[in-house]
Amino acid sequence: MPKNTISDTLKNQKIGEVIVLKGWVRTFRSNRFIALNDGSCQSSIQCVVDFNDFSDDLLKRITTGSSISVGGEIVPSLGSGQSVEVKVKELQMLGDCPPETYPIQPKRHSLEFLREKANLRMRTSTFSAVMRIRHVAAFAVHDFFNKNGFFYLNTPIITTSDAEGAGELFRVTTLPFDETPRNEDGSINYELDFFAKPTNLTVSGQLEGELGALALGKIYTFGPTFRAENSNTTRHLSEFWMIEPEMAFYDLSDNMDLAEDLCKFIIKNVLEKSKDDLNFLNTRLLNEEKNKPKEKRSEFELIEKLHFVIDNSFVRCSYTEAIDILLKSKPNKKGKFEFPITEWGVDLQSEHERYLVEKHFKSPVILFDYPANIKAFYMRLNEDGKTVRAMDVLFPGIGEIAGGSQREERHDVLVEKMKNVGIDPEHLDWYLDTRKFGTCVHSGFGLGFERLVQFVTGMSNIRDVIPFPRTPGNAEF
C-alpha cells in the first residue's frame, strides 16, 4: 500500500480509490466524523465511520490528538467544506492521547499559552501554517540565489571575531568555571581553551562571506546567528536565521536592487505556493483585528498587503532626508516619540522607522547613507567624510528587515576606521588581506529570516515564527 498524505489525497482525489491515511485526530464528532490531519496541508480530511463496524472500546480511544491509521474508500462528500471524504473500512489506534492531560484542545488557545507548549504547538492550524510557509520561504531563498548565479557558502558558527562590533556575544569555551586557568595578571588564560583563543557564536557570517565574494563573485549564507543582547521585544531572538548575500563589483545601488528583488521573490513564492495557509492566516488576523479598537486596525488585509509590496517599488530615501521628514513630523512636534528627533546624527529607533514606513511613505522604504558613527566599521565612507554607504530595508509592521552596505574596500581607510572603534587590525589581518590582494568595490546585506516570515504570515511576535525560540531566560525544548 503506498503511503498517502492528506495533501496528495485532496489534490489528486480519485473517487472510488482505496487508500490508507495516518495522522492525528483533530476532532471526532457524533461518534461518526473524524477530522484527520497529518500536517501535510492546512486541511483535515473527513473520515466517516459507521459505529456498527467498530467496537465501543476502540471508538472511545479516538480523541483529539491521538494518532490513527484509517483505511477506506474516497467518496464524494455530502457535507459542506470538503469535496471528498473517506468512508472508513479499517481503523487502527496508533497512539492514544489522554484528553485530561493533552493541552491542545479543539478551541482557541492564546499564542502566549501555546508558546509555553512549543513542543506541541505545531499540531495547531496556526503554527503548522506558519511552519509550512517558513519552509516555502526558505526554499524560495535558495531558489532565488541559485537562479541568479550565487553560490551557497557555509560560514562558521564558531568564530573569533565580532563582525558587528556590538559585543553581544555568546562565549564558546571548554574551560572549567571553577578554577579557570589564569595568567599572572589574573586574566583568563585562553591558551588553555579548546581553540587556544577566545571564541564565540557568530553574530554574522559577513566577514567570511566577503572572503567568498572576493573569490567566487556572488555568494550567500543562510544560517543561524546568535546575539546575546538582552532585548525582550517582539522582533528580537537570541538565535535567529540570517540570509547574507555578498557580491563583488556591486555598489550600494545594485545592493538595494538585489534586496528589493529578493524580498519580492520570496513573497511572490509564498503567495503562489501557500494559498491555503495564507487564507487561513488572513482569516485569523481578520478575527483578531475585530477585537481591536478601530484606530489600531490595519488598513490592509494580510494578502492585500503582500500584493501591495510586490506590486510597488520600495521608496529609497537618504538618512538626511529622513531626518528632515521626522523633524517636521507631527509626532515629533507634539512630543509623541519616546525618543524625540533633535538633530542630524541620532540613531533611528523603531518608532521612527515605523512612522516613515507606515505613516509617511506608506510603503517599504530603503534608507541609505547613514552617519558613519552609528554604523559598523566595515561600511564604505562617502566623500563627505561623515556618512557611510549603509542601507536599511524597512517594512510596515516590522521596521528593519534587512541591513547592509557597500563595503570599505580601501585598505588604509578601513584600517583607520578599525582603529577609531578600537578594533586591532592585526586581529582581523585575514579580513584585511582581501583589501591588500585584488580589492574591489563590493556590497552585501543581511536579511532577518524570521522578520521576513513575520511579515508574510502576519504574526506579531517573532517567537511565533521559529519552531523553538531562544530569548533571554528561555531555551526550553
Binding residues for ligand 4AD, per CB under 6 A?
A: 163-164, 204, 206, 227, 236-237, 240, 242, 244, 400-404, 444-446, 448, 450-451
Shortest separation between residue 241's beta carbon and ligand 4AD, angstroms: 8
Identity of the residue, 24 or 445, whose beta carbon is nearer to ligand 4AD in the bound complex: 445
Identity of the residue, 26 or 352, whose beta carbon is nearer to ligand 4AD in the bound complex: 352
364 interface partner picked from ligand 4AD, Mg ion, none, CB below 5 to 8 A per type: none
Sequence-distant (6+) residues with CB within 8 A of 298 are 289, 305, 397
Footprint on residues 378-407 left by Mg ion (CB under 5 A): 403
Residue 359 DSSP code? I
Q: Say what angle helices 429-436 and 206-216 make with each other, to 10 degrees.
A: 30
Strand extents, DSSP E, 372-409 = 387-395, 399-406
Identity of the residue, 25 or 466, whose beta carbon is nearer to ligand 4AD in the bound complex: 466
244 interface partner picked from Mg ion, ligand 4AD, none, CB below 5 to 8 A per type: ligand 4AD
226 interface partner picked from ligand 4AD, Mg ion, none, CB below 5 to 8 A per type: none
Tell me the C-alpha distance between 465 and 450, whole Å.
6
Identity of the residue, 409 or 450, whose beta carbon is nearer to ligand 4AD in the bound complex: 450
Question: Between the CA of residue 254 and those of 219, 242, 246, 260, 430, what are the distances in Å?
Answer: 15, 20, 11, 10, 26
φ/ψ of 271, rounded to 5, equals: -60, -40
Identity of the residue, 90 or 261, whose beta carbon is nearer to ligand 4AD in the bound complex: 261
Identity of the residue, 85 or 246, whose beta carbon is nearer to ligand 4AD in the bound complex: 246
* 99, 66 contact by CB (below 8 A): no
444 interface partner picked from Mg ion, ligand 4AD, none, CB below 5 to 8 A per type: ligand 4AD
Sequence-distant (6+) residues with CB within 8 A of 233 are none
Shortest separation between residue 168's beta carbon and ligand 4AD, angstroms: 9
10 interface partner picked from ligand 4AD, Mg ion, none, CB below 5 to 8 A per type: none
446 interface partner picked from Mg ion, ligand 4AD, none, CB below 5 to 8 A per type: ligand 4AD
Footprint on residues 79-138 left by Mg ion (CB under 5 A): none
Identity of the residue, 91 or 130, whose beta carbon is nearer to ligand 4AD in the bound complex: 130
* 127, 121 contact by CB (below 8 A): yes
Shortest separation between residue 259's beta carbon and Mg ion, angstroms: 12
Shortest separation between residue 467's beta carbon and ligand 4AD, angstroms: 15
CB-count burial class (<10 Å; 0-12, 13-18, 19+) for 54: middle
User: At 279, which amino acid appears?
Assistant: N
Shortest separation between residue 170's beta carbon and ligand 4AD, angstroms: 12
204 interface partner picked from ligand 4AD, Mg ion, none, CB below 5 to 8 A per type: ligand 4AD
Sequence-distant (6+) residues with CB within 8 A of 158 are 172, 195, 199, 200, 201, 202
Instruction: Please work out the total of residues on this chain that contact Mg ion, with binding judged by CB under 5 A.
Output: 1
* Helix or strand run (H / E) with residue 254: helix 252-273
Shortest separation between residue 376's beta carbon and ligand 4AD, angstroms: 7
Shortest separation between residue 400's beta carbon and ligand 4AD, angstroms: 5
* 59, 86 contact by CB (below 8 A): no
Longest dimension (CA), the chain: 85
Shortest separation between residue 164's beta carbon and Mg ion, angstroms: 8
DSSP string, 120-162: TGGGSHHHHHHHHHHHHHHHHHHHHHHHTT-EE----SEES--
| Nearest residue to ligand 4AD, scored by beta-carbon proximity | 448
Identity of the residue, 396 or 403, whose beta carbon is nearer to Mg ion in the bound complex: 403
Residue 380 DSSP code? P
- 33 beta partners: 29, 48
Residue 474 DSSP code? B
Q: In what order do the strands lie in the sheet with 158-159?
A: 158-159, 199-201, 171-172
Identity of the residue, 259 or 302, whose beta carbon is nearer to ligand 4AD in the bound complex: 259
Shortest separation between residue 446's beta carbon and Mg ion, angstroms: 7
Tell me the C-alpha distance between 188 and 176, whole Å.
11
240 interface partner picked from ligand 4AD, Mg ion, none, CB below 5 to 8 A per type: ligand 4AD
Shortest separation between residue 70's beta carbon and Mg ion, angstroms: 50
Tell me the C-alpha distance between 68 and 91, whole Å.
7
Q: Which residue has the cell 515629533?
A: 332
Shortest separation between residue 277's beta carbon and ligand 4AD, angstroms: 22
Residue 209 near Mg ion by CB under 5 A: no
Identity of the residue, 85 or 260, whose beta carbon is nearer to Mg ion in the bound complex: 260
Tell me the C-alpha distance between 367 and 354, whole Å.
12
237 interface partner picked from Mg ion, ligand 4AD, none, CB below 5 to 8 A per type: ligand 4AD
Q: What is the binding site for Mg ion (CB under 5 A)?
A: 403
